[in-house]
Amino acid sequence: MKPLRIGLLGIGTVGGGTFDVLTRNAEEISRRAGRPITVIKVAARNEAKARRVVPASVPVTPDFLSVARDAEIDVIVESLGGTEPAKSVILEAIAHGKHVVTANKALLALHGNEIFAAARAKGVIVAFEAAVAGGIPIIKALREGLVANRIEWIAGIINGTTNFILSEMRGKGLSFADVLTTAQAKGYAEADPTFDIEGVDAGHKISILAAIAFGIPLSFEKAHVEGITKIEAKDIRYAEEMGYRIKLLGIARRREAGIELRVHPTLIPAKRLIANVEGVMNAVLVKGDAVGATLYYGAGAGANPTASAVIADLVDVARLIDADASHRVPYLAFQHDRIGTEPVLSMDDVETSYYLRLRVDDKPGVLADITRVLADNHISIDAMLQKEPEEGEAQADIILLTHETIEKNVKRAIAAIEAQASTSGKIVLLRLENLA
Contact by Cβ (8 Å): 258, 344: yes
Selecting among 98, 205, 247, 287, the annotated active-site residue is: 205
Helices (H) and strands (E) in the chain, counts: 15, 17
222 is catalytic: no
Contact by Cβ (8 Å): 212, 139: yes
Contact by Cβ (8 Å): 265, 430: yes
What's the burial of 436, exposed, middle or buried (CB within 10 Å: 0-12/13-18/19+)? exposed
Tell me if residue 25 falls in helix, strand or coil. Answer: coil
Contact by Cβ (8 Å): 46, 17: no
Contact by Cβ (8 Å): 212, 143: yes
Cα dist from 135 to 162, 320, 364, 366, whole Å: 18, 21, 55, 51
d(CA 141, CA 412): 40
b/e code 331-357 from CB counts within 10 Å (16+ = b): bbbbeeeebeeeebbebeebebbbbbb
d(CA 207, CA 221): 9
Contact by Cβ (8 Å): 374, 380: yes
Catalytic residue numbers, as ranges: 205
